[in-house]
Amino acid sequence: MAFKLTYSDGQESSYDDDTVWEVDDGVLKLGREEGKWSVLLSPSHWAVIEVGGSSSQDSDDSDDSDDSDDKSEKDDSDTDDSDKDSDKDDSDKD
């Protein structure tokens, strides 16, 4: 199963369905065959494993565009709030 690994320094790596992994007492073991581990990562070197979802880069790009839409809506609402605040300040002066 494809997964994304986030290291403790924030770096991310995506692995395909061909990579087998296991966590044993916090040690992340990676390899091409179960029991034949080619990489062992100490618990202090990795932070998060995200399992599932699509392993293609296209789906990641579409998620980013959704985030930017949410961000622009939030920016618009912030502007509206500041307008309300300035209207409130004007009414206090009357």
How do residues 33-83 score in pLDDT, each as one tens digit? Answer: 999 999 999 999 999 999 986 544 444 444 444 444 444 444 554 555 545
Within a domain: residue 90? Answer: no
Within a domain: residue 26? Answer: yes
Give this prediction's pTM. 0.53
Task: Answer whether residue 1 shows pLDDT above 60.
Answer: yes
Within a domain: residue 18? Answer: yes
DSSP states of 14-83: EE-TT-EEEEETTEEEEEEETTEEEEEE-TTTEEEEEESS--SHHHHHHHHHHHHHHHHHHHHHHHHHHH
Range of the domain at 23: 3-79
Within a domain: residue 44? Answer: yes
Within a domain: residue 86? Answer: no
User: In angstroms, rounded to a whole number, what is the distance separating the alpha carbons of residues 4 and 51?
Assistant: 7
Within a domain: residue 8? Answer: yes
CB 6 within 8 A of CB 24: no
Within a domain: residue 47? Answer: yes
